[in-house]
C-alpha cells in the first residue's frame, strides 16, 4: 500500500506562485508514474500534469503549459508541482496520484492511477 500526502496549498493572489509537494511512502517510488489532478467546485476531476520514471518525461494539460512544472526527487520519494502566474481558474483541490506498474493505458486518465492523496486546497483570488 502506498500513502500519498500533499502539502503546499493555500490562498494566493492572481499572478502569485505556489509549490505543491507530494510525499509518498514505500520503497518503489521511483517506479511509479506520478500525476497531479485537480477538482474545482461543481466540476469533474481533471488532469493537470504527470511525470514518468525513465528520463522524467512530463505531460501537461494545455491550460497550464508554460506556467506549471512537475518534477520528482526519487531520493526523497517526493513529486512537486511548481505553479507560477496563478489564475483564478486554477482554484481547486489538487490531488497527487501514483500509477504503479503495470501502468495504465492513459497517463492523463484518472483511472490509470492506483493511489491517491487526500488533496490540498489552492485558492487564487483576483
| DSSP for the chain, written as a single string | ---EEEE--EEEETT--EEEEEEE-SS-GGGSEEEEEEE-TTS--EEEEEE-SGGG-EEE-GGGTTTEEEEEEGGGTEEEEEE-S--GGG-EEEEEEEEPSSPPS-TT-GGG--EE---EEEEEE-
**pLDDT (mean) for 94-117:** 95
Q: Would you say how long the chain is, in residues?
A: 126
Whole-number pLDDT of residue 94: 98
Q: How far apart are the C-alpha atoms of 111 and 68, rounded to whole Å?
A: 23
Whole-number pLDDT of residue 54: 66
85-105 residue pLDDT tens: 999 999 999 999 999 999 998
Is residue 1 pLDDT above 90, yes or no?
no
Whole-number pLDDT of residue 114: 96
Query: Please, which pLDDT band fits residue 26 given cuts at 50, 70 and 90?
Result: confident
32-64 residue pLDDT tens: 999 999 999 999 999 999 999 866 799 999 999
Average pLDDT, the chain: 95
**pLDDT (mean) for 99-116:** 94
Amino acid at each position: 500500500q502506498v500513502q500519498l500526502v500533499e502539502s503546499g496549498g493555500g490562498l494566493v493572489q492572481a499572478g502569485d506562485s505556489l509549490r505543491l509537494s507530494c510525499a509518498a511512502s514505500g520503497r518503489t517510488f521511483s517506479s511509479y508514474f506520478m500525476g497531479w489532478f485537480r477538482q474545482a467546485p461543481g466540476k469533474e476531476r481533471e488532469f493537470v500534469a504527470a511525470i514518468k520514471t525513465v528520463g522524467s518525461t512530463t505531460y501537461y494539460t494545455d491550460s497550464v503549459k508554460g506556467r506549471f512544472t512537475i518534477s520528482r526527487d526519487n531520493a526523497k520519494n517526493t513529486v512537486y508541482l511548481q505553479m507560477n502566474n496563478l489564475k483564478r481558474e486554477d482554484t481547486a483541490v489538487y490531488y497527487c496520484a501514483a500509477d504503479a506498474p503495470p501502468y495504465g493505458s492513459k497517463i492523463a486518465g484518472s483511472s490509470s492511477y492506483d493511489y491517491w492523496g487526500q488533496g490540498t486546497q489552492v485558492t487564487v483570488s483576483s
